[in-house]
């Protein structure tokens, strides 16, 4: 028979049975694993590939055009314009929708820009809690423009038969690339006229965000681990 003094669990080994020390170690390991899974779920689970979609509009302007006449009223699929950058010889001039008073223009950074502005990369960094998200962006060149957005890589966009369905799948992003339409007269891209960025609401309502499947799976594993640890004690 093995006597265990209160407060010294695990120091006495009982042959033929798992020791209390092992029980406590197993519980601690499972609790740490569950916590790690819960904390790491955000970084691991949301990492998913996206596909860039572009839609060409000929002989159109996006704002003060197809998506609305007055600047503050311009919308893509219910998502209002946030800011427009007009390309000039000295850089960019910008105009901000008055609905987004926290936007200063400094949130955007442009890199890898072609000499004529026809291609490039943008990055958006929020510096105020009131800053909106971004779902759509437009690159205007010549008389045409290209609308850009990202969709999940497992979604097949049908721009001809289901443009609305494809627009509804637009994902929130903080970076992206752009390209201008091709000039049919010489087969080369037009120089950039302007870039414009649009907020995240869909048909006037904020998009619903759900945890990625990977997150749900990791959370499930963590909870199962905790439950198993409790049963073992």
* Per-residue pLDDT tens over the stretch 59-99: 999 999 999 999 999 999 999 999 999 999 888 899 999 99
CA–CA dist 91, 70 (Å, integer) = 24
Residue 3's pLDDT is 41
Which pair of structure tokens corresponds to residue 94? 């910008």
**43 burial via Cβ count (<10 Å: 0-12, 13-18, 19+):** exposed
Residue 201's pLDDT is 56
| pTM for this prediction | 0.68
Over 80: is that where the pLDDT of 220 sits? no
CA–CA dist 189, 118 (Å, integer) = 6
Q: Is the Cα torsion angle 183, 188, 190, 196 positive or negative in sign?
A: positive
* Per-residue pLDDT tens over the stretch 170-205: 999 999 999 999 999 999 999 999 999 999 754 444
């Amino acid at each position: 028979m093995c006597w265990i003094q209160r407060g010294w669990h695990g120091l006495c080994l009982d042959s033929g049975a798992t020791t209390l020390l092992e029980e406590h170690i197993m519980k601690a390991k499972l609790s740490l694993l569950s916590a790690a899974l819960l904390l790491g779920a955000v970084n691991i689970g949301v990492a998913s590939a996206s596909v860039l979609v572009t839609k060409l509009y000929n002989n159109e302007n996006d704002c003060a055009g197809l998506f609305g006449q007055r600047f503050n009223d311009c919308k893509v699929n219910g998502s209002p314009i946030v800011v427009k950058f007009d390309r000039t010889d000295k850089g960019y001039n910008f105009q901000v929708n008055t609905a987004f008073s926290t936007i200063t223009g400094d949130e955007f950074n442009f890199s890898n820009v072609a000499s004529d502005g026809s291609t490039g990369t943008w990055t958006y960094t929020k510096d105020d809690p009131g800053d909106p998200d971004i779902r759509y962006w437009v690159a205007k060149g010549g008389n045409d423009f290209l609308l850009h957005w990202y969709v999940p890589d497992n979604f097949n966009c049908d721009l001809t038969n289901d443009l609305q369905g494809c627009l509804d799948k637009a994902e929130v992003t903080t970076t992206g690339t752009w390209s201008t339409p091709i000039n049919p007269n010489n087969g080369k891209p037009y120089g950039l006229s302007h870039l414009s960025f649009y907020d995240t609401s869909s048909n006037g309502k904020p998009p619903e965000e759900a945890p990625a499947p990977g997150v749900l799976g990791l959370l499930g594993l963590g909870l199962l681990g905790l439950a198993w640890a409790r049963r073992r004690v």
